[in-house]
Each structure stands twice: as C-alpha cells, then as structure tokens.
Amino acid sequence: MQRFFDIIFSALAIIIFSPFLIPVMLILKFTGEGEIFYVQQRVGKDGEMFGLFKFATMLKDSPSTGTGTVTVKNDPRVLPFGSFLRKTKINELPQLFNIFLGDMSVIGPRPQTERCFLAFPEASQEAIVQVKPGLSGIGSVVFRDEENILDNPKIDRLAFYDKVIAPYKGNLEQWYVKHQSIYTYFMLIGLTIWAVLFSKSKAYYSIFKDLPTPPEDLKNLV
C-alpha cells in the first residue's frame, strides 16, 4: 500500500514542480561549477547501495575535504545558490525520481552515506536496511536543524556526530521500522510539512509519545 502512495505522490510532485525545477537547473548550469545534479551513493534497502539524486549545491570534491559527508552550518564548501537550495530543501527534490523508480519511499529512514551509516549502532543498522529509505522520516524531522546543532566551535564536530547524534538518530530510525504503518506514513508527511513551516516546533513528541528519549547532550537541541 505504501508503494502505491509513493508512486502517486512522486508522480504528482514531479508534474507540479517541473515548471519550477527547470529555472533551478538553468541557474545551476550557469553558476558555480556548472553542475546540475549530484549523484551520491547511499545505503538502501537490504544494505544495497544506490545513486541518490540531488541538485548540486557543493564543490565537486566536497566529500574528500573538510568534514567529509557531514555538512555543518555555513560550510565553506557550499556554493552561493546551493545555500539557498539547501535552506529551502529544494536540493532534495530530484529524489522524487528515486521514489518513483523504487529506490526510496516518501517516508523512511534517511538514506546515509556508508561512512555515516556505519556510525549508527549495529542494531540500528540491522533495522534500517529492512525498509526503503525515505525522502523524509522521523530522523529527518527531529534533526531538521542538524547543521546548526553541529555549529559549535567548542566541540569536535565529527566526534559529536558519531558519539551523540548518530546513536540517537539510529534509535529514532529503529522506532520508525518498528512502528511502520500507513498511519505513521501520513503523520510523518504532515509533520514534515509542519516542520518546514514552523522550524522550532517539537510537535513530533506530542504526536508520537513513545519516541526514544534524547541523550543529555541533545535534550535542549531536538
């Protein structure tokens, strides 16, 4: 049933957004490094890698420089127009084609690079690969402000991601796999829209009262 809604929603969204996506493609072609799309290998269902589509928002060699596949606020590798695309989440829209093709779902665990996936606890890894990754999901909603969370000069950003963010995000994704249903699917679509409109809201804790409790280092941040 979820696949049925994925096909309907992604097809409709592609049609609706097509007139808007074309100007974005033209701007990317004639600015920055001239790249339109960026295809990055991510971990999918059953642990198989797939190419995730995004609009190009960063320098080509970004994965091998700075903080690698972890992006932080005001990351110097982000291109000027790319910053706008990332802030508005427009850079994620090409993933509608991933959904339509069956690599992803509208809702699911956010697909991770292999490096970030391996930072999750083993139990979380085993749960995550049981379902298709999603354009959005409980991990995406709770950590919608992840770049700002990592914007702290007093911390080792990569160590904080690996030891604090990744374990809790993994627990959230485990929660989703356990509670996967059409109800959860539609509620998370609604919460995603709500989070875009009201970025400071923590409505997800009211809607899903049994979410894993965040660790002390994240209690005032998510």
DSSP 115-160: HHHTTS-HHHHHHHTTS--EEE-HHHHHTTTHHHHT--TTS-HHHH
Closest residue by Cα to residue 151 from 82, 81, 85, 76: 76
Closest residue by Cα to residue 197 from 136, 138, 144: 144
Residue 66 is predicted with a pLDDT of 53
Tell me if 66 sits within 8 A of 76, measured CB to CB.
Answer: yes
* Domains of the chain by residue range: 2-218
Alpha carbon distance 167, 122 (integer Å): 10
**Tokens linked to 45:** 């269902």
Residue 207 is predicted with a pLDDT of 94
Give Cα separations from 174 to 8, 108, 120, 121, 170 (angstroms): 26, 10, 11, 10, 6
Q: Which residue reads 């770049």 in tokens?
A: 147
Closest residue by Cα to residue 170 from 206, 218, 203, 209: 218
For the chain, which residues score pLDDT lower than 50?
none
Residue 117 is predicted with a pLDDT of 96
Q: How far is CA 6 from its chain centroid?
A: 17
Closest residue by Cα to residue 199 from 155, 140, 152: 140
Closest residue by Cα to residue 126 from 117, 134, 116, 135: 117
Alpha carbon distance 33, 62 (integer Å): 12
Alpha carbon distance 212, 172 (integer Å): 6
Length of the chain: 222
Tell me if 143 sits within 8 A of 222, measured CB to CB.
Answer: yes
